Chain A
């Protein structure tokens, strides 16, 4: 079954790498639902967060192809229950309507939205959360003249990850430690191996 996967990629900071990674998806006609590139916890190392809807087997192959790129250190993939994630959204609404309608104020409070800019003609609200929550607020605001809306890419933290600092040290070594060459079959031999 196809499901949502979050792919986390640790890379060097290199011009053109975004394209090199993006074409691994487009070559297979896979749509990237969300993409975020930012610094990571390790200095000088960038972190890609990519969301796609795919079969696990395909995602596994994609990650191997990504990891194969010279400037990529590591690629992980996780289902939604293995990560903590957030998206951020901005909503621009006419100030006069908000000022008049008490209901809107209540609505915004209910969704935990926060005003980030208040002008005479418009107000910009911000909210963070999962996609469904963000989308619910759009629906709720639509009748009150939502002028503009934008949602950020997903950012995600892997629940079981202990970060990249230690790993990075091993990458600096000429002979990286064994766990770098993670093998999903290791210690699960009964699952894949029978004689």
Chain B
């Protein structure tokens, strides 16, 4: 168990502050549990999107004296575990949080599978679960089964729809033709997205002149990219994961892929993606997006860099932070640690977050970015649902800096 040293620090600081103002009082504690990968295949994503936001939020809340729970200030004590990207491990640890540590609230897990695996347990103990990094088309069925589960990052279909809209617009503008080259990583989410895209793209009158998959962890993507190049399509779409989104960009640069629309899915929005290829990936599209010009987002990003020392990613980071803000406002709004009351509060109210005002309709929030684009060093949202500040899509024009 790693109890955050940070908590102690913040607690001491806050206590000192209170003492100075002459309002010293015994600090009550509210326990928060968080389980997500620190090792294993999903750790790469979790240390970018999940963990830094938990750290940031806990530190900020504690710095201002903790949560106001019905008139009592309560400092957050964070209990965190590594699930090793293993669902069996995650389930066991979730039980541990509930039974041994007896935490008051939990941070929803990282990854679709883990949210679904943990939902029955957290549901049984009544914890509200505001899932962020979980994208599925089965939200209705899942939220009906687990009424404590909330979704905030959109559906598989919304994801593919964003890309389809861009393709249709660019076809109308004459930038691309009917031909699309599409590749996908042969793993759960990649397969699911590609499958949905095949239907939606074909319905929209596109022709997949190149449609190939590659196994997860393929080190050499040059045959994939050569094939896409030979197809002559002016639009390239890749339903890819973190390692291969990078690998594909690298190959596109080497092959000098001649397209007007280039899209790769997960991890394109990571700051490391921009750092790796600089100006060469200007106008590359990817999953996610954010509106950096929004003052709330800008302040959040500055605090993220300041506290964690890392640039926030341009997608789910803000949603993850917003989910924590929802939890915060629900606990303070309900004025109690009672889980059922807080869960009901989440269903009935709207929340003022960095992502704007969020509300839940049948436990699903319809405010999220689906497609973003690297534009002069910043990954900006170009397509989204319920969000403001989308910028026009630009055309990809070569791979030189």
User: Do A and B originate from a single complex?
Assistant: no
Chain A positions near chain B (C-beta within 8 angstroms): none
